[in-house]
Structure 1
Amino acid sequence: MLLVPVLAFVFLYTFGTNRYALPTYLPTGVDSTLVEGKWRRDTVFHQLADFRFTSQSGRVVTQREVAANGLYVANFFYTTCPGACPRMNSQMARVQERYRKDPRVKLVSFTVDPAQDSVAVLERYAEQYGAIAGKWFFLTGDKTALYRLITDEFRLEAPKGQAPGIEHSQKLYLVDRDHRVRGIYDGTKTKDVERLMTEIDVLLYSYEHE
């Protein structure tokens, strides 16, 4: 009888804490470090290089700005895309509304058609989705720089059977303050976007409880 409360305490102490750790994506290799006389192998993950593109307001925006002290959600689209892009950006609008008052969360939408999507075009497009100034950035710029960002940094590839080029994607990317990808989601699926918002909460919690 006396052991019952003791065992109950031990059980709750050991198993009563929920832990949820986000994975990190885009591995680049394996590094070895010597810890207490033993070699330990750790996976090294890609850190996104900084970018400089022009937003729908005409202001130059960098990764350092959008990731400072928080995180950002990224996607790739073009304004004349008839199907997936409107569904994806409608889901991005949901994320914006959820974190409207949290300055740590930013949204970044890169156009894959900079020849068509000028600053003026992006400004009108952003208005359609209620993009909040300083919260959700629609970015355009040099085509070569955008292609390098898409292929070398986010590692998106052209669909099989098609020539290499700038491609839009249905994926949403969760990027942390260290510029590492912590989540990849289908931006056209409500359930995946719900998971994205849950994992944003987890990442923000980890910042507060290091």
Structure 2
Amino acid sequence: MSKKSNYSYVGIAFVVLVFGIIFIPKIIDRIGKDDITRDESRSDDVSKADKNLDKKSYKSDLVYIPNADGGNKKVPSFSFIDQEGKTITNEDYLGKVYVIEFFFTTCPTICPKMNRNLIEIQNEFKDFENFGVASFTINPEVDTPQVLKAYAINYGITNPNWHLMTGNEDTIYKLANEGFYLYTAINDEIIDGFEHSGNFALIDKKGFIRSRLKSPNNPLIYYNGIISEDEGIDDEGIPQEITILKEDIAKLLKE
């Protein structure tokens, strides 16, 4: 091998060494920062699209909630007595857009918050004869029609389509847990003796549960009923959903 060849190999080795010293750390640094991909422009577009979907998640068209059998989830048949002593069934709500909740009158925690929010919604849609609320007590032993009527007066319930209903305890709990998947349970270990969801379900004029999408193929399903618009966000960082519930009620009323 000639000296010229030796010099060539030395030169090449020197270039490789310099490249390694200067550029390899930068490449490693970019990988460590997740700044290098197979196709950076494509990945950036996907990332931006995902973020935009999150931002638009509460602006989607309202969707139907699917059943386990692939159909659309509908309000189960029910029949209860309301605060006026009248028998109210699911058919009384056909042709109306309405919100469903499960509560009890002696609840010292989330129920007052939920019903103050529902009062605000009631007043927002006071000019719509086809808007209503269905409130089911989970403590029917105490919440008689007379008790429910006093509760309605105290809270300022004036909408004639807002029925506070009582009836057989087992039937109510089945409606909540199996009909709507809105959790309710008796729990003697807590201060008020009951556990229940603080969410609202939104029902369209044909009796189907409706909601907006949070992301593609991921419906919101229920609306948080505890946090008020004035609060905006709770101590755990959860945002209020009363505003979007109002928006979605307005959409369904136009259908």
With structure 2 as the length reference, what TM-score do the two structures score?
Answer: 0.62
- Offset, 1:76: 0.6
* Structure-1 separation of matches of 2:252 and 2:103: 25
Q: Which residue of 86, 96, 99 maps to 1:59?
A: 86
Matched, 1:112 2:150: no
Q: Amino acid of the residue matched to residue 201 of structure 2?
A: Y
Q: Which residue of 199, 205, 210 maps to 2:248?
A: 199
Please state whether the residue corresponding to 2:206 is helix, strand or coil: coil
- Offset, 1:155: 1.4
**2:29 equivalent in structure 1:** none
Matched, 1:22 2:62: yes
**2:120 equivalent in structure 1:** 94
Instruction: Give ranges in structure 1 of 5+ residues lacking alignment.
Output: 1-18, 31-43
Comparing 146-155 with 127-136, greater Cα deviation is found at: 127-136
Please state whether the residue corresponding to 2:146 is helix, strand or coil: helix
- Offset, 1:168: 2.4
Q: Amino acid of the residue matched to residue 68 of structure 2?
A: T
Matched, 1:187 2:215: no
Structure of larger gyration radius: 2
Q: Amino acid of the residue matched to residue 196 of structure 2?
A: H
- Offset, 1:105: 0.6
Structure with greater proportional strand content: 1
**2:95–2:206 contact (8 Å) kept in structure 1:** no
**2:204 equivalent in structure 1:** 176
Structure with greater proportional helix content: 2
**1:150–1:166 contact (8 Å) kept in structure 2:** no
* Structure-2 separation of matches of 1:111 and 1:59: 15
Q: Amino acid of the residue matched to residue 48 of structure 1?
A: V
- Offset, 1:70: 2.2
- Aligned identity (percent) is 29
Q: Which residue of 49, 58, 72 maps to 2:76?
A: 49
**1:12 equivalent in structure 2:** none
Q: Amino acid of the residue matched to residue 75 of structure 2?
A: L
With structure 1 as the length reference, what TM-score do the two structures score?
Answer: 0.75
Instruction: Call closer, same or farther: CA 1:180–1:107 in 2, change over 3 Å.
Output: same
Q: Amino acid of the residue matched to residue 128 of structure 1?
A: N
Q: Amino acid of the residue matched to residue 179 of structure 1?
A: G
* Structure-1 separation of matches of 2:194 and 2:164: 16
